[in-house]
Amino acid sequence: MTDNAYRYQSGFPKIGIRPTIDGRRKGVRESLEDQTMNMAKAVAELLSSALRYPNGEPVECVISDTCIGGVAEAAASADKFAKAGVGVSLTVTPCWCYGTETMDMDPTLPKAVWGFNGTERPGAVYLAAVLSGYAQKGLPAFGIYGEQVQDSGDTTVPEDVQEKLIGFARAGLAVAIMRGKSYLSMGSVSMGIAGSIVNDGLFQEYLGMRTEYVDMSEFVRRIEEEIYDPAEFEKALAWVKENCKEGPDNNPERLQKSRADKDKDWETVVKMTQIARDLMIGNPRLAELGFGEEAMGHNAIVSGFQGQRAWTDHFPNGDFLETILNSSFDWNGIRAPYIVATENDSLNGIPMLMGYLLTNTAQIFADVRTYWGADSVERVTGHKLTGAAAGGLLHLINSGSATMDGTGEQSRDGKPAMKPFWDISAEEAQKCLDATSWRPASAEYFRGGGYSSDFLTKGGMPMTMSRLNYVKGIGPTLQIAEGYSVDLPPEVHDALDKRTDPTWPTTWFAPIVTGKGAFRTVYDVMDNWGANHGSISYGHIGADLITLASMLRIPVSMHNVAEERVFRPRAWGLFGTDGIEGADFRACANFGPLYK
């Protein structure tokens, strides 16, 4: 069984499409049946062609057996959806319908209503009425209404409606996919980092997820008792020797390991990678080897590895396992990335998971380490920043664990990119490997040795940095910064990079500034960032993150997304339309966590 087949054998949630209709018989309903059902079919075709599951297959849609004109048909549709595994609810109609009789009442399903903008039997009237009912019942729903009036016989889906349908469905599927999965904490709190204090209530009430825990001694047990696939280990080690080039050792000679010890470290980090993956999702091969319990895994869609310092003071660090698992390829070929947070920072693991489910691409984990203003760069290097970097840069760099996709060696339309695994060619995967060196870990930080990935991200990629923070008295809040990766002249990069640990991967990031608030300048972005880590996704996905956060009732405290791109449930406008950031906080507090 392939990696992707085993990981996703439980299947994925479907999108349920509910065609609602005016229930009056003897002429009214009959005249609308075809148009209403055809709306549902058009939406199903749109979403299945535009969206894919994490395994690369097209998203599946389920349409109610009949148009819904009243309570009985609404109940029949709900029953069908429950049996079919529907995780997202989308209602469509061209006409007036009976609001509270036809609405979807499942409190945990993300829901939206598309009301056709036509004048014959305007769906906008039903849209307004049913959204009012949803707000009154405490079931926030998204309203979708096209800007242009359509003729009654028009079967097309306008472009502005398409954007909202796809944006809603993409975020709704993310909510549904994570529901019932686990965050696996491998170890405990790393170096007093608050984000690695895994909050059970946060995962349970806001994400609908379990939290699972294993002590890092489980890695020792599985290594010593050989609870891993030995055939895969031999295959992996040979692949590593061929594809993972070892970089120079920056440690003082007295602290450098012998060649034999370095080779032993390579063996250990490969086994650690196998074990971390098996802990997350299980491995049927282990059952064949007599380890039935271990073969089950923890149903983890995201995990974190503590590493420092309980592990890394004695054993090789986790940089290799985190980088390999977070990448879209390994010794078994090109496959979907796993999501693993460095230092068990679960509050950074969550936006990594969000970004992954919204894009199906690997995510970069990084320290938000240094703000380099234009004056400072010019003072240190003599170089004057220009273009996207003119206002300054953020140096995103962490202890050698990110994703090799982050090199930017994949391409789209001739430009650097990070892509879903099904779009990545073998040549592109090899380029990512060739652009990455593996440096013997700094003995100053990692007494147990190991290897840190080292690469430089190509400039010119649109990127979104995000972070979840947890505030006592408020709960979780999300921060979002869209921007671009930036190229610096090699000598400038070297001068700046060598002021910190040069054995770690670097992304030079220029957030887009707006001249106001937390985005007045690049310095203000750094000064307002809530913690030491950030998750970086390819593309400008801030609007999708905002939509997803609203579904989960997580307010967004800081973002640079244009107001016209913000898409939240219609009820958010009832908490204020001037100053929508504050309205977001009030709405989330009022409705509370999705699963509470």
**Which pLDDT value is given to residue 185?**
98
Above 80 in pLDDT, residue 3? no
Please tell me whether residue 112 adopts helix, strand or coil conformation.
strand
Mind listing the pLDDT tens digit for each residue in 173-211?
999 999 999 999 999 999 999 999 999 999 999 999 999
Domain 3-178 and domain 182-591 have a common topology: no
pLDDT at res. 1:
46
Predicted local confidence at residue 246, as pLDDT: 97
Annotated binding-site residue? 3: no
CA 527/CA 529 separation, integer angstroms: 6
Element (H, E) at 388: none
Question: Is residue 310 over pLDDT 60?
Answer: yes
The pLDDT of residue 5: 65
Judged against a pLDDT cut of 90, whether residue 555 lies above it is answered with yes
Residue 213 pLDDT > 70: yes
73 annotated as a binding-site residue: no
**Residue 260: alpha-carbon gap to chain centroid:** 39
**Domain over 3-178 is classified CATH 3.40.50.1980:** no
User: Could you tell me the CA-to-CA distances from 560 to 480, 486, 507, 515, 564 in Å, in that order?
Assistant: 7, 18, 20, 10, 12
Percent of the chain at pLDDT above 70?
99
Question: Which whole number is the average pLDDT over 317-337?
Answer: 98
Instruction: Please write the tens of the pLDDT for every residue from 362-420.
Output: 999 999 999 999 999 999 999 999 999 999 999 999 988 999 999 999 999 999 999 99
Q: Are 342 and 365 in contact (CB under 8 A)?
A: yes
The pLDDT of 312-324, averaged and rounded, is: 98
Active site residues per annotation: 343, 367
pLDDT, one tens digit per residue, over 248-295 is 999 999 999 999 999 999 999 999 999 999 999 999 999 999 999 999
Q: What confidence tens digit (pLDDT) does each residue in 556-594 have?
A: 999 999 999 999 999 999 999 998 999 999 999 999 999
CB 109 within 8 A of CB 87: yes
Interatomic CA distance for residues 54 and 354, integer angstroms: 12
Q: Is 322 annotated as a binding residue?
A: no
What are the angstrom distances between the C-alpha of 473 and each of 19, 178, 195, 509?
Answer: 41, 25, 16, 32
Cis peptide before 309 (omega within 30 of 0): yes
Taking Cα atoms as reference points, which of 511, 498, 590, 504 lies closest to residue 553? 590
For the segment 89-146, what is each residue's pLDDT rounded down to a tens digit? Answer: 999 999 999 999 999 999 999 999 999 898 777 788 999 999 999 999 999 999 999 9
The angle formed by the CA atoms of residues 154, 156 and 157, to the nearest 5 degrees, is 125
Under CATH, which architecture does the 182-591 domain have?
Answer: Alpha-Beta Barrel (3.20)
Domain residue ranges in the chain: 3-178, 182-591
Give which of 428, 271, 283, 441 is closest to 362, Cα–Cα: 428
Helix, strand, or coil here: 338? coil
What value does the mean pLDDT take over residues 528-553?
A: 98
CA 147 to chain CA centroid, Å, is 30
**DSSP summary character for residue 30:** H
What the block records as the tokens of 542 is: 């801030």
Q: Which residues pair with 143 in a beta bridge?
A: 113
